[in-house]
Structure 1
Amino acid sequence: MKKLAFLLVLIVNTFTLFAQEYALVREDDKFGFIDKTGAYVIEPQFEKAGSFSDGLAAVLEGDFWGFIDTKGEWIIKPDYDRVKMFNSGYALVLRDDQWSYIDTTGKKLETPNSEKYYDFEDGVALFRAGEKVGLLGTSGKLVLEPTYDVIKKFRNGHAKVNNGELWGMIDASGKEIIPVEYEEIGNTFSEAGVYGKKDGTFGIIHNGSFNPIDNATKVHNFYKDSKLTYASRDKKTGFVNSKGEWVLEPTFDKARAFSNGLAPVSEGKKWGYINEKGEMVIEPQFRDAEVFSASGFAPVKDKAWGFINTSGEVIIPMEYGISGNFAFLKGSEEKGFVNGIARVKSKKGWGFFNEKGELLGDKWFQNAEPFVSVK
């Protein structure tokens, strides 16, 4: 029995270790880091700092930037004029007017020379040669020769690409998964499909087929694992599936994505929520409304923002702001609850609510960045 209890404690502690998240906050004009209890894990002491990425956080000391670990100890000494966030194990750093990549030990990655350097995302970085763009791998070698005029931001391991006036999509290996033959294409890959426009017609690209949507004038990206996305026709909005079929006819003035089986829709100037049958389950009553988080809470607005549950009950009063970034290093822009925590702004400053509607640490900060994993 004792062995079983010890094993359970070990499992819980291991899960906690790997799930650890910190948020960058500013108090009395100094930057520090808190955990998800609201307690400081690194006291406010820095003039400038960035959120953690790949287990390290950028910190300014004097005129130079370096990186600290989760104990607040220097791992990469402050020796750089500018730095970016780590991604895929590498960060861009500037020293003596020259950008280069370093790993989390500070070792430089040898790469072909380029006129401009780009951040790594999903294991690759853009590489420009003349007027064309390819992909650089974390090995320091090209995984895709400069082939396209434009490669946009990678999302879900895929990026939209352009040659001339037409668009397609590639994966992080450089493989073209959607041919460059569309006048317009969505920027987010989903197993349910990617919207596109071909010969003046909107449709859904799914499993190698282009499925036209009857008289659609605008289509949006599929959201996470939803099987429906919203589209417009005759100035009204409804929902379509991977086959391009109108599952819910366009009868709403505006709409947003389904999440947790509910989607925000507006009738006139008021927003409510429908289920996947098109039934109004939370009556239109809000000035604005966002999608539900995975845990079942959504931001809604009257004069300011608050949060409701899937029954429409207000769990955090509509008294706050819910967006905005202050750090020089961009963090998450997702609104609402993320991993059980919502970042909000009040007249007292920035703070965090948990899913019980409790203010973390019962405290407000001058500024606060979203929580990020530190492992």
Structure 2
Amino acid sequence: MKEIIIIVLTLSFFSCSQRFKPRTNENEYFELTELNTKDTLFRISKNQFYEMGDDFAFVNRKGDTIITSEKIYYTFKDTITTFGIVLKKETYDLIGINRKGQRIFEVYMYDNGPDYISEGLFRIKKNGKIGFANENGEIIIKPQFECASSFENGIATVTYDCYLYYDLDNHLRSKSESWFKIDKTGKRIE
């Protein structure tokens, strides 16, 4: 009987220890590593035509492998100069990565893909808040908004609080009583 109790206690310890295993921070953010590089990274693939889920790597001009597809399901760019946009394996998070393959921000999902660049800026997210980055991946307006439109005629409409809902046509909509406009530096327009 004593042996059965020891076995049960041992098994329950191991099953509990899995729950208390220290977790790495999946949403840790890194900085852009190189903004003025002359060494573009090129995507190479084992297959002639690159498709979602294929193994690939980003290599530099010397042929050194810099980023592998180990944690990446798909990449939206075939070259990286300052940053790339990828879908992570397992979670399918749409993220921006630096030249080392590290997360620099999440990319705002629009129309089943990364947000479009509008007037030189596109929407990004960090810790659930929306901001704007330029085509080099530099964060121009820090993520701080709950909802934000893309820029049009130098102006974006943003809010610190909004409610998201689906309309009758199943399109995601946002509602807020406190929308305001900002310019491309993030300054509020009165």
Shorter-chain TM-score: what band? 0.3 to 0.5
Q: TM-score, normalization: structure 1?
A: 0.25
Q: TM-score, normalization: structure 2?
A: 0.44
Larger Rg: 1
Query: Per residue, is there more strand in 1 or in 2?
Result: 1
